[in-house]
Copies of this chain bind each other. A is one copy, B any other.
Amino acid sequence: MKLTVLGCHSATPRWDANPTAQVLEVKGHLFLIDCAEGTQVQLRKFKVKFARIKHIFISHLHGDHFFGLVGLISTFRLLGRDAELHVYGPKGIKEAVTLQLKLGKSWTNYPLLFHELEGNSPEVVFEDDKVSITTIPLKHRVYTNGFLFKEKPGERGLDVEKARALNVEMSYYRKIKQGADAVTKDGRVIPNTEITFDPPPAKSYAYCSDTSYFPEIVPQIKGVTALYHESTFLEKEHHLAEKTEHSTSKEAAAIAKKAEVGTLILGHYSGRYGNLEAFRDEAQEIFEAVELAEDGKVFEW
């Protein structure tokens, strides 16, 4: 999985601080997560081949997470897109986008499909043979979902040398990788595990923004490889976090610890803080593996 942070700051876009948008590359897919104003410029700046985006996931309908969506959709039209585009987001998102396209008499010339969300329990919104994507209901001032991206386990690795030595028919290789026992040319059965090894562990990514401290998500995100959790504030502004239904860095770390995640990535910083290292320091008092999101930063796992 390769995550490119396009913007990781809260509230208003500024010259050097973009509000939320991310691109997650996994198993040949390019998923866009949130789409604040300026996202299309960030996509160009960081040389993302954004025509490849076919699925856009919008967590909630605050401007710093979705005001760039209609512009990106319009740009796809101007660039002559013809591939389907799927948009997943809270109920209302379809009307907000289509009203603006209608007013500009600028309908897309490619299929634009909305998948509106209104459930309050996890829901699989995308699935193919390699990846599944599930909503993570969050707790914020408006209806909000995070998203859990999970690779499906890959095929087992085949010990080809051993297979040859044992005289296993090559035409069986595919089935063996899928878990079948091997059969030699002279009819002997070799148990699958003798000739294969475990596939690399399936990776996962949980995107949780925006939300107040909400431990109800822990069972769902248990053991994810990477967790992006918003930390709008530091603990000394805990009262603001509570009031605005955001999290502090400490709270994000507490979630990461409870969920035993691989790495915690912090972001959605309030503009009031000059030095972002304070977010890491605070989180690391509770959970060691902390990274700071930055506009343009790429994480791979």
Residues on A close to B: CB < 8 A?
Answer: 11-15, 37-38, 40-41, 44-45, 60-63, 67-68, 70-71, 74-75, 78-79, 90, 92-93, 95-96, 99-100, 103-106, 141-142
Contacts and interface: CB of A to CB of B under 8 A. Distances in A.
A12 B63 contact: no
A62 B103 CA distance: 8
Contact of A103 (B41, B61, B68): B61
Contacts of A104: 60-63, 142
**How many identical subunits does the complex contain?**
2
Given A62-B104, A67-B67, 10 more contacts: A12-B79, A13-B38, A15-B44, A37-B40, A37-B67, A38-B41, A61-B103, A67-B100, A93-B103, A105-B142
Contacts of A37: 37-38, 40, 67-68, 71
A75 B70 CA distance: 18
Contact of A100 (B14, B41, B63, B103): B63
B63 A40 contact: no
